[in-house]
Structure 1
Amino acid sequence: MHPLRRLFGYARPYRGDAWLATLYSVLNKIFDVLPEMLIGVAVDIVVNRRDSFMAKLGIADPLQQLVWLTGITIVVWLLESLFEYLYAVKWRRLAQDLQHELRQAAYGHVQALPPDFVTDARSGRLMAVMNEDVHQVERFLNTGANDLVQVFVSSLLVGGVFFVLTADLAALAFLPIPLILVGAFWFQKKLAPRYAAAREAAATVSNRLNNNLAGMATIQAYTAETFETEHVRRASDGYRARNADAIRFAAAITPVIRLAVLVGFVATLLYGGWKTLNGDLGVGTYSALVYLTQRLLWPLTRLADMTDLYQRAMASVNRVMDLLEAPLPPQPTGILPAPVRGAVDFEHVVVAYDDRHVLHGVSLQVPAGETHALVGGTGGGKTSLLKLLLGFVRPAGGRVRVDGTDVADIAPRELRRHIGYVAQDPFLTDGSIADNIAYGDSAPDAARIEAAARAAQAHGFIAALPAGYASEVGERGSRLSGGQRQRIAIARALYRDPAILVLDEATSAVDNETEAAIQTALREAARDRTTLVVAHRLSTVRHADAIHVMDAGRIVESGTHDALLARDGAYAALWRLQTGQAG
């Protein structure tokens, strides 16, 4: 489907505004063309006096004719200015409204997609779509749409006047237009893939910069500044080369169009002058036609800028629409039966990514109120089980139930509001500590915030900060240590008082002393709620009700810490590797 049709289809609620803006543009162009005709009338009055065109309308005195013409000119200019103001306001407001709507819709759509979509699509590319591409659409609506409307209307109006006054001269004046249009469409066809490639290259630059800014500490620690500067240079060179390829074509449009315009203008000048000298055409009419030839043909020189802007915008429209049309996962509407106990049951679940199986028929029951741990080497499938529970991925086979209800039938928001989730690399929003603990709560409770912080062993360091709970955490929590960020994330999970607590390496970034304190707090927090823990440090889960060892997408051992050590299997080998002890 053509990108313009895709945009019009999406912008259906704004069609009334678009039509009104178009009307203002048309009326402005009508009153913009009239002054050239009034110049011809003025010349006609001065040359023919009582035999002028206005004399035939009943105004015999030449001076009165000029007075009337002056009044008409003032009215025409005022109306032209009025409609220029109206179309500028309407088009720009439409551009602002639509870019706001597109950006909000694109971001909202991304939020409704699984988290893995952002990773697969590259966050830098998504940022380029939601910022640069949306802005490109706004630029087109700000100026390009009005230019296209006015060039079309101007051609119709001036062409109509030409054919009324002298058809043979009109034919000469219009002779270059087919060549101009064919050339413009040919350039458009050549420009479209070049601008699409340029937009992709711009997204690559954005992704590289975004990635490097996030990892600046690592870049500097490894003295990799020159290495990464070269990466950025290559990405920027790629964008520059693709943009230059498009610019070479875009820059050629104007000179070609100017040559075609010259042909039409010279034809009017010579042939119209010859007819006037022979008395076949009035002096006033000839003057008007010379001015109107410029009015007809000269705006076509802007086809270069219009084509350039149009093609950039259409490439951006396709990228934005492709994002908006990315298929959403099923959106069930079911709810969990109250009260939510938090019993979790994985029944023969299978998960595959690109035909690569990461879970092979795993079955696991976590009774309500118990703490179960998932341990094992990297790539064993532990995090995939958590993603299944959170509804981030759908099983290729089997089912996941919470309190006997299939997760596939539960609305994602309904499911997740009963789960407290702590990731290995916790996300903190750029706000205060209190904002982050009560994250997502429109009416935060200060007492609950402090209670959650105490439970997560975070109150001590928070109270020591100059602004306490009002202290800003910085972008992604940059003003806090890794352990402090982890404890804020744990406090955030506890603030929700969830029925199910999901901890994905929640103590990986804390020291031994802090870990011990957190473990004490978590044992209290886990009381009367289901807790599912992924851990590499086995010391953090030795008191769990059950520990499940995963390897290559399967559960190979299950039991308590003591029972697994007594079995002397995979868990016992991991324990000896980490502690050097037998039990």
Structure 2
Amino acid sequence: MPLSAVGAAVFGVQLANRSLGSLVLSLNGCYESGLYFLDLVEFLNATSARRRPALAPAPPEVSHFEVDNISFSYPGGSSAAVRGVSLNVRRGEMIALVGENGSGKSTVAKLLAALYDPDQGQIRWDGEPVTEARREELWNQVGFIAQDFTRWPFSARDNITMGKPVDLGSLRLASSRAGADVVIESLDAGYDTLLDRRFKSGLELSKGQWQRMAAARAFYRDCALLICDEPTAALDARGEQAFLHALREYAREKAVVLITHRLENVRHCDRAYVLVHGRVTESGGHDELMSLRGAFYELYQLQADRWAAVP
């Protein structure tokens, strides 16, 4: 057999092997996607089958958010995530939810925002139970600044105004509050800069810069209730202090909930609720909580000792 024919045969076998491998991977991908699709179909069917009574309009311009003796368990959970929790926040106030990991802070915030229905107890906005109001109208009054924020591959302007009509004055105000105006000014095309390197002339921001953009997006929504889950995790010390002062200023006309592990930040809040294993064990201002010498005092001292140990 000619050498050229042998070479062609070997090449053909290798090519067929690679093609077969690609086919197997593609089939496996289709199978995995099919599993996700079945979950989606099941979810949509369950949603359409769920009947709700005629709901009332949500209260406009809510000024008082209240959680009254609520308990909640996640499906399949072995124990309740929160138990007998009561708290409230009014327009003009900034409260903190503090506690160790898994204590129920984020769950309480999601319940307050009407994302979940409690198993027991009641959530009220301006005295009205949220279970009797239209959810979409409720959610339009809630803003979130999450620790795991979304990085949209769009322009800086679109990242901030996402889902809302563009208003230049509000855009600049939101950017200034979040400290994102400094980031925008450093970009070649300003608000028109594409924030993804996959685009021609697109740029990638640092994590701290992205966190400022996410905060600006929440400020731009201008909601009655703003929930901040570790909003300064990626900021430096100077940026963190500037942001907390801006958040305090924002709380003059809104209700703000701050979830934080940095207990020093409680000084910026009107009061804090300390959660331990899903229960509120203490509440009050920073000095009041320290005087109780309970869970808050213990955690605060642990953080203070870490700094004191630095030479």
TM class by smaller structure: 0.7 to 0.9
Tell me the amino acid that sits aligned with residue 243 of structure 2.
I
Change (3 A) 1:330 1:480: farther
Is the Cα–Cα contact under 8 Å of residues 369 and 529 in structure 1 kept in the other structure? Answer: yes
Is the Cα–Cα contact under 8 Å of residues 180 and 216 in structure 2 kept in the other structure? Answer: yes
> Are 2:158 and 1:435 aligned?
yes
- The CA deviation at 1:557 is 0.8
Q: Deviations over 1:322-363 (max 9, x none)?
A: 35313366666322333x243111111111012431011111
Tell me which residue corresponds to 2:250.
525
Q: Is the partner of 2:46 in helix, strand or coil?
A: coil
Change (3 A) 1:348 1:419: same
- Structure 2 CA distance for aligned equivalents of residues 512 and 553 of structure 1: 30
Tell me which residue corresponds to 1:542.
267
**Paired residues for 1:129-528 under 5 Å:** 201-202=28-29, 321-327=41-47, 333-338=55-60, 340-353=61-74, 354-355=76-77, 356-441=79-164, 443-474=165-196, 479-528=204-253
Q: How many percent identity over aligned positions?
A: 36
Q: Is the partner of 2:81 in helix, strand or coil?
A: strand
Tell me which residue corresponds to 1:562.
287
With a CA cutoff of 8 Å and minimum separation of 6, indicate the structure with the bigger relative contact order. 2
Change (3 A) 1:522 1:335: same
Change (3 A) 1:335 1:200: farther
**Paired residues for 1:102-121 under 5 Å:** none
Unaligned stretches of 5+ residues in structure 1: 1-197, 207-311
Q: Is the partner of 2:212 in helix, strand or coil?
A: helix
Unaligned stretches of 5+ residues in structure 2: 1-24
> Are 2:299 and 1:574 aligned?
yes
Q: What TM-score do the two structures reach when normalised by structure 2?
A: 0.80
Change (3 A) 1:405 1:467: same
- Structure 2 CA distance for aligned equivalents of residues 458 and 321 of structure 1: 40
Bigger radius of gyration among the two: 1
- Structure 1 CA distance for aligned equivalents of residues 39 and 293 of structure 2: 56
Tell me which residue corresponds to 2:22.
none
Q: Deviations over 1:22-81 (max 9, x none)?
A: xxxxxxxxxxxxxxxxxxxxxxxxxxxxxxxxxxxxxxxxxxxxxxxxxxxxxxxxxxxx
Higher strand share goes to which structure? 2
Is the Cα–Cα contact under 8 Å of residues 199 and 316 in structure 1 kept in the other structure? Answer: no
Change (3 A) 1:534 1:330: farther
Is the Cα–Cα contact under 8 Å of residues 347 and 400 in structure 1 kept in the other structure? Answer: yes
Q: Is the partner of 1:326 in helix, strand or coil?
A: helix
Q: Is the partner of 2:171 in helix, strand or coil?
A: helix
Is the Cα–Cα contact under 8 Å of residues 226 and 254 in structure 2 kept in the other structure? Answer: yes
Higher helix share goes to which structure? 1
* Cα RMSD after superposing both structures: 2.9
Q: Is the partner of 1:349 in helix, strand or coil?
A: strand
Q: Is the partner of 1:379 in helix, strand or coil?
A: coil
Q: Is the partner of 1:541 in helix, strand or coil?
A: helix
Q: Is the partner of 2:269 in helix, strand or coil?
A: coil
- Structure 2 CA distance for aligned equivalents of residues 542 and 436 of structure 1: 31
Is the Cα–Cα contact under 8 Å of residues 546 and 560 in structure 1 kept in the other structure? Answer: yes
Q: Is the partner of 1:492 in helix, strand or coil?
A: helix
Q: Once superposed, which parts of structure 1, at least 4 consecutive aligned residues long, lie more than 4 Å away?
A: 198-201, 203-206, 315-321, 328-332
